[in-house]
Amino acid sequence: MFSPVIFLLFFLLSCVFCDTKLMEVYGKVIGTAQGTPSASNCHIDCYYNSTCFLVYKDSEGVCIQYSYLDNPKNLSVVAANDGSQVYFKATLPNDTCPATLNSLNLTYTPTNYFSYTWKPIANGWAFPGCANGWHLSVRSENLTVCIKGFYQTVYRSAAIKTCTDRSSVLIGVQSVEESQWMREEIGNLTNKSYAPFWIDGVRNCTGIEPGCRRFDWSDGLTTGDPLLPEESASLSVTDKSQRLENCLVVTVTGLNDVACSNAQKRMFCGYKLN
C-alpha cells in the first residue's frame, strides 16, 4: 500500500466545496485514458472545478487534469516513489481528516446525478468507470457503455430530455444479455407486472415490407438488430385499435413495440466510456 505520508488538502477560502477533499498521495496515474496537460499548480484549479476529479503531477512537475465528463474507463492510481504526486477528490463530511485512506470509501459526488467510488486495489485505487448505480456493458472491443433505469418521465420526448439532462442518451439494446439485464433491473425497480421503459429504436420500414422488424437507432451507441434473436420480443406493429406501434420499450417480459405517442413513466439512459 501507499506510504503513510498522505495529505488531505483543505482550501478554506470558499465553503462552497466544504465537503470536497483533495487527497494527495505519492503515486502515479496509469491507464489508457487521456488527461489534459495544465499549468503547474493545476491541482488548485482542479479543486475549484467540479468536473475535474483527478490530477497527476509527474516528477518533472508536468500537471495533468482528468475530467469525469470524459468518462474515462481505464484509470488507476498506484504508489510511486519518484516524487510524482496524485490528487484525487472525495466527498467527506466537513470536518473530517482521516489519518489513512486505506479504510475510507473514497466517493466523489460532483452532481446530484453522479457519484464515483474508487475501488481499492493491491497498490492503490482503480476508477470504477461507470458512475455508481450505472451498469457497465462491453458492447465491442471499442465500445463500452454505462446504462441505468430511471423512473420519471411521461412522453418519449421527455424521456430523451431526462437522459440528456443526465449527460446521457436514451439508449437502445445491443444484445440479448443487455435486454436480460434490463428486465432484471426493471424487476428490481418496480413491482408492477407491466412496467414499460422507453429505450431507443424507431421502426423504419422505408423501402422494405411494411411491418418489418428493422429499427433505426439514434443514440449513436447501438447498431445492428438485436431484436431478432430475442424470442420474447413482442413486435405486433399495431395495437388493438390499429394504431402504429413504431417505438420500443422493454418490460419485465421482454421487448415490446408501442405507439410513439404513448405515455410511459420510465426509461433507460446510457453513455459511452472512453
Ligand X SMILES: *[C@@H]1O[C@H](CO)[C@@H](O)[C@H](O)[C@H]1NC(C)=O
Task: Show Cβ contacts of residue 212 under 8 Å, excluding neighbours closer than 6 positions.
Answer: 203, 205
- Closest to ligand X by CB, 41 vs 240, is 41
152 binds ligand X (CB under 6 A): no
Q: Which candidate, 189, 151, 180, places its Cα nearest to that of 253?
A: 180
14 belongs to the binding site for ligand X (CB under 6 A): no
Terminal-residue alpha carbon distance, the chain? 28
CA distance 181 to 98: 38
Strands 197-203 and 266-273, bridge-based pairing: parallel
The yes or no reply on residue 19 touching ligand X (CB under 6 A) is yes
Nearest-approach distance from CB 103 to ligand X, in angstroms: 5
Cell triple for 141: 472491443
Is residue 98 near ligand X by the rule CB under 6 A?
no
Q: Is 31 in the site for ligand X (CB under 6 A)?
A: yes
- Distance between CA atoms of residues 153 and 155, nearest Å: 6
How far out from the chain centre does Cα 81 lie? 33
Q: Which of 204, 234, 261, 274 binds ligand X (CB under 6 A)?
A: 204
Task: Answer yes or no whether residue 242 interacts with ligand X by CB under 6 A.
Answer: no
SS3 letters across 36-65? EEECCCHHHHHHHCCCEEEEEECCCCCEEE
The DSSP annotation for 11-34 comes to: --S-STTTTEEEEEEEEEEEES--
Least spacing, CB of residue 206 vs ligand X, in Å: 4
Please pick, from the candidates 105, 164, 232, 253, the single residue that binds ligand X as defined by CB under 6 A: 105
Among 60, 165, 177, 184, binds ligand X (CB under 6 A): 184
- Residue 209 found at the interface with ligand X (CB under 6 A): no
Shortest CB 204 distance to ligand X, Å: 4
**Applying CB under 6 A, which of residues 185, 200, 230, 245 lies at the interface with ligand X?**
185
Which range binds ligand X by CB under 6 A, 125-133, 168-176, 202-210, 259-267?
Answer: 202-210
Chain contacts with ligand X (rule: CB under 6 A): 15, 18-19, 30-32, 36, 49, 51-52, 65, 67, 74, 93-94, 103, 105, 140-142, 181, 184-185, 188-191, 204, 206-207, 216
